[in-house]
Structure 1
């Protein structure tokens, strides 16, 4: 029987922050994949190499972790005061699922750089030397991100001396601004509120786990924060402490599902299986000494608090960029579990410890008509092109 030949699709493989993914210009996708739907999902699954029962992604571009199983589409934006539209797909490893429910903050960094590499920004807006403010419309969640990308001789400056914990080598610093980062998801009481339940701290009833204090926030990405101590942790855990324990992962997933229900993101527990990317589940603790995954010593005095977060059912090796926005935002609001773990009170930035080191994120909160609002959250990341050219997939894969 004749077999379909492979087709060639222009693509760029990029690292952004502590993630990496395959980047496409919308115009370069096969015609039937230019619109959302089954064909596009099947294409991205095949490119990454999912679903993979071996959890290795040997036959694809993925890296068999949530940080490396990602696809991005960029196009010139038709929206006023925006340069590009950025759409992000989180590809599951063991399931035939592409989750479009949220953003990737790490790859938002690379989206700004890729927009310049791919010629999607008006040349008149790109300085010969300096910093280009790439105005990004994040299409998954309908928010604006500004990536301040350094430019040298008219090209993206990728090399530099900015060090980001969780990334092996230094690179040029890219400053990200997440404007109005609270999401407009439906909540049980709060509508589009940053705190969907209307509370800074909820009593969350979790089947087979019990009642837990939780801060449920939609900023950057919907996130369920609980105290590490309440679930038997110290906040110093590394990936191997949790990811090899199926019972621990199952318990954390139950907390995530309970939070998703309480936030109004899903209507039944079963829906959580098709919404793995959001919400995130994270646990917080006051500062204490620990060794990061690299062996680097993190001292209690180096950080304001400790945070560990899960992505796609596994403890993240560092911190998702969107979760960092949630952390910074929650820390800025007095009385949240994140704020209390950091010592309480008012603050406009926070440095937290994660499995790979530390990260600082800034956010300013204010109370307006009885509701907390954050106009922007800011953090620094790095990005660079790893490979460019084309990916190949069987012509009948999608």
Structure 2
């Protein structure tokens, strides 16, 4: 009896030693790969045919596709990530059915990929691996290839992209799929690359955006045309006590001051592109979120003078406070009618609201919480009110229905 048990145990051990990850059921593999970062599951999928055929459609459908599109050829990690992007693009061109499965796309540039903190030994090891690896991709081709295939993602719903180059941003806006509902643009360098000779506006075909987030996370805030003391000195003193008149006169002097405007053609170009994007999607926008950037560079623009019948909320930061009066009244005038905020609550009909999130509103500057102040469009008393707690969380997290 003991010999039979020993024999069975030996057979089980021998059988279990032959089981690999690829032998697991599809349902279990889906759960395992669901915990893997997007940068890691894509090369793994492309390296194992069995797992690929079991899981690729489910993963592309349910998990964001996160790719890097720029980098440094001397850095092993950037080299590896760009090679993964290139491999996936080539694979999709041979298997076009994948385009229809992708719902969420995230494009990262080299600034958003944190560097390894390497010791001297690790640095030498990575250097050896980088030298021994054969370069199969031209780094300059990756951004162009991504732009060219972007319209193929016919069911794409949400795109998040890191930007360090306004020319790339212009090309991206022109390639947005018509089905896109949410766009998140993060400008993560202080001075994005810009070629003044390539300032033509993009041909935007996307017409169904519901949410737009334009954020700047660089150390230097994006403020178009900084106000100088010379602007104030040119305003007659009798107007200094009248806030609205004073603001209008400052604006007039500012707009006529070529020294302020011509020094920042890159920000002017960025603002005009975003304004054009808003104009093309004015009938569908639900939420517009602009932070780390003075919203004046977008809304003080000829493209945005249009009603937005679906608009519910505009989210801003403290950078937009000084020049709100330059553009907000005109926007309120054409968008003061009430809208139904939540599909589940037909009684919650309100005009659009502008919400400013800022640490300036906290009682103690040392606190990390961000408070907000808000005002509904067309408020006859022109009053701002403070919000905190669940109200702040509601407006922070509101999204399209």
- TM > 0.5: no
* Larger RCO of the pair (alpha carbons < 8 Å, separation 6+): 1
Q: Select the structure that is richer in helix.
A: 2
Rg larger for: 2
Under a length normalisation based on structure 2, what TM-score does the superposition of the two structures give?
A: 0.26
Under a length normalisation based on structure 1, what TM-score does the superposition of the two structures give?
A: 0.26
Q: Select the structure that is richer in strand.
A: 1
